[in-house]
Each structure stands twice: as structure tokens, then as C-alpha cells.
Amino acid sequence: MSASKDRFTPSQRSAVMRAVKGAGTGPERTVRALVWGLGGRYRLNRGDLPGKPDIVLPGRRLALFVHGCFWHGHSCVRGDRPPAANADYWRAKIARNRARDEAARTALQELGWRVEIVWECELKDLSRLRERLGSILAA
């Protein structure tokens, strides 16, 4: 398959990609507020753990990752819609992200950590997400 032409010049694409945040995103802040409201006390982005989880609850040995549906290839509407422009690049990029995610999950589990992923699309129903997080914290 041939890749579609990117609508941005290489320098413009680089600027767009630099603007994408890696930590402290809106979805992460929302999940942190829910976890805190449920009594969870956490640390952020622990670099000493595989995958540098977004939210870590050390006393519960729980690592939470907050994943963007597009960036991590979720099976929801947004994650299942690869861009038409530069499609080969994006397929490879998302595949690398998924492989890295799985390696981090496996490594954390081997160290005795519970690992949960909160998908960006789950933030559309905060009451349901609050229930899910409550169940995770209670376990």
C-alpha cells in the first residue's frame, strides 16, 4: 500500500508532534481527580517502574495507564480510525506503541504489580468510570 502525502511539511509535522503532551494531559488529570476522590493516594510517572505508569498507588501495588485511543490503537471508534495521510507511518507508530505497552504491562506484572488501563473514550461516561475505578481500588 502506498502512503498518502502528508499535508504538512516535515518542519510543520515536527512542530505538531512536539506539541503533543506526554504527561499531565487532560484525561490524566481527570482520572487523577477521580482516583483522589475515591481515596486513592498516588505518585505520578514513576520512572523506576517499567513503562513509567501515569498513576501509581504503591500501597496497593497498582499501576494505572491513561491511554489516548488513537495513540495506543484502542478498538473504539477513535482508535480504529487511522489517518489517511501518511497511513504507513501511523500504522507502524501505533504498532510500536502497542508493543511497548504490552512489554511494560508484562514487566510490571512480573514484578507483582496490578496493571489497569483507562482509555480516553471512557471519560465520556464519568459515573461509569468512577464505578470502575472504585472497583479497581477496592480489589
d(CA 58, CA 108): 12
In a domain, 8, yes or no: no
| Domain membership of residue 28 as a residue range | 23-138
pTM above 0.95, yes or no: no
Our count of domains for the chain comes to 1
pLDDT in tens, 90-121: 889 999 999 999 999 999 999 999 999 999 99
CATH number for the domain harbouring residue 47: 3.40.960.10
In a domain, 94, yes or no: yes
In a domain, 83, yes or no: yes
In a domain, 13, yes or no: no
| Amino acid symbol at 68 | G
To which H or E segment does residue 62 belong?
strand 62-67
In a domain, 52, yes or no: yes
In a domain, 14, yes or no: no
In a domain, 77, yes or no: yes
Q: Which of 51, 32, 34 has its CA nearest to residue 43?
A: 32
| Amino acid symbol at 58 | P
pLDDT in tens, 9-67: 878 867 776 766 667 788 999 999 999 999 999 999 999 999 999 999 999 999 999 99
